[in-house]
Amino acid sequence: MKSNSSDGFLSRLKTAMTFTRKNLVECIEDAFQGKKEIDSNLLEELESILISADIGIKTTTEILEVVKNQVDRKQIKNGDELKACIKSELLRILKSASSCSSNNIDSKLMVILVVGVNGVGKTTTTGKLAKRFTQQNKNVLVCAADTFRAAAVEQMEQLGTEAKVKVIRQNAGTDPSAILFDAINAAKSRNVDILIIDTAGRLHTKNNLMAELEKMRRIAGREVQGAPHEILLVIDATTGQNGLIQAQEFSRISGISGIILSKLDGTAKGGVVIGIARDLNTPIKYVGIGEQLDDLIPFSPEDFVNSLFT
């Protein structure tokens, strides 16, 4: 039996997914409305619906192949059977990506690095994660390592106050690795369970900023066994396929262990979740569904697919 909280998550996810659902499942329903047989025109239409829902070309091709195969074998004869087939394919893709396990954590202190391009929601997500872990009775510390953007540290501090979590900071312009070093020491002496590091937004093409991330990763690994235990890439769902390209570039460089898809609320491009999961084989860990600290929900393939097909 489901807990109240997961039922709550599902209904909030359904609301956040309204536009994505309209863009995908309702378009499929409309295309099949009143059609007696599934012919090549209909399959072409299905292809363009899947692509315009930001599922990605490779994933669309893969799904269409399964559908065509089942149509040929007369296993799919109508719109409902087709929807059921697409639903189970999406679930299979999401489940296979989410089965990739993350690093084993041997140390008492878990270190989480939050990365991504500018403006995707890293700082907000760090605040959301801090609040979530605190509510799970973890002793949480945040490291404000974005000394690059004006007011980023103050923004992190404000979110830390809201989440009731301490934030380690230094002045603008300080080397982020030096702040990280301080934060790790503070975390050790304060018996912290989880240290979350908010980093500056960076384009994967900016070599110096990517090198800075590498340095932070090295410092973390030197100071805490197995750290960083998670490198979470935040992707803005509203950017659709661009988010997928960012994810590919970042994962090549910095060994992403999980993805957080922010701003799923109010976008019709939520289908990008599926392309990301399939192409990167990296689990989606959480989705952001609003600007408030409570607007972060753990990602579940079943809930995601059920929120689309209701």
Ligand X SMILES: Nc1nc2c(ncn2[C@@H]2O[C@H](COP(=O)(O)OP(=O)(O)OP(=O)(O)O)[C@@H](O)[C@H]2O)c(=O)[nH]1
Q: Which parts of this chain interact with ligand X (CB under 6 A)?
A: 116, 118-124, 146, 149, 152, 201, 262-263, 265-266, 288-291, 295
H-type alpha helices, the chain? 4-16, 18-21, 27-32, 40-52, 57-72, 79-98, 122-135, 152-163, 176-189, 207-223, 241-254, 272-280, 301-308
- Number of residue whose CB is nearest ligand X: 201
Q: How far is the CB of 244 from Mg ion (least distance, A)?
A: 21
> Of these partners, Mg ion, ligand X, none, which one is at the site of residue 275 (CB under 5 to 8 Å by kind)?
none
Q: Is 209 in contact with 125 (CB distance < 8 Å)?
A: no
Q: How far is the CB of 11 from ligand X (least distance, A)?
A: 17
The smaller minimum CB distance to ligand X, of residues 166 and 263, is found at 263
Q: Is 253 in contact with 70 (CB distance < 8 Å)?
A: no
Pairing outcome for strands 230-236 and 194-198: unpaired
> Of these partners, Mg ion, ligand X, none, which one is at the site of residue 5 (CB under 5 to 8 Å by kind)?
none
Distance in angstroms (rounded) separating the CA atoms of residues 196 and 136: 15
* Interacting residue with Mg ion among 13, 76, 114, 122 (CB under 5 A): 122
254 contributes a contact to Mg ion by CB under 5 A: no
> Of these partners, Mg ion, ligand X, none, which one is at the site of residue 119 (CB under 5 to 8 Å by kind)?
ligand X
The smaller minimum CB distance to ligand X, of residues 152 and 274, is found at 152
The smaller minimum CB distance to ligand X, of residues 59 and 238, is found at 238
251 contributes a contact to Mg ion by CB under 5 A: no
Q: Is 130 in contact with 163 (CB distance < 8 Å)?
A: yes
Alpha carbon of residue 279 to chain centroid:
14
The smaller minimum CB distance to Mg ion, of residues 122 and 131, is found at 122
Distance in angstroms (rounded) separating the CA atoms of residues 277 and 89: 13
The smaller minimum CB distance to ligand X, of residues 40 and 208, is found at 208
The smaller minimum CB distance to ligand X, of residues 289 and 308, is found at 289
**C-alpha triplet 124, 126, 131: angle, nearest 5°:** 95
* Interacting residue with Mg ion among 23, 59, 60, 123 (CB under 5 A): 123
Of 75-83, 118-126, 202-210, 221-229, the window that binds Mg ion (rule: CB under 5 A) is 118-126
Q: Indicate the length of the chain as a whole number.
A: 310
In terms of phi and psi (left: phi > 0; alpha: psi -120 to 50; beta: otherwise), the region of 74 is: left
Q: How far is the CB of 35 from ligand X (least distance, A)?
A: 37
The smaller minimum CB distance to ligand X, of residues 57 and 203, is found at 203
Q: Is 234 in contact with 146 (CB distance < 8 Å)?
A: no
Q: How far is the CB of 39 from ligand X (least distance, A)?
A: 40
> Of these partners, Mg ion, ligand X, none, which one is at the site of residue 63 (CB under 5 to 8 Å by kind)?
none
Q: What are phi and psi of 144, to 5 degrees?
A: -85, 85
Where do contacts with Mg ion occur on this chain (CB under 5 A)?
Answer: 122-123
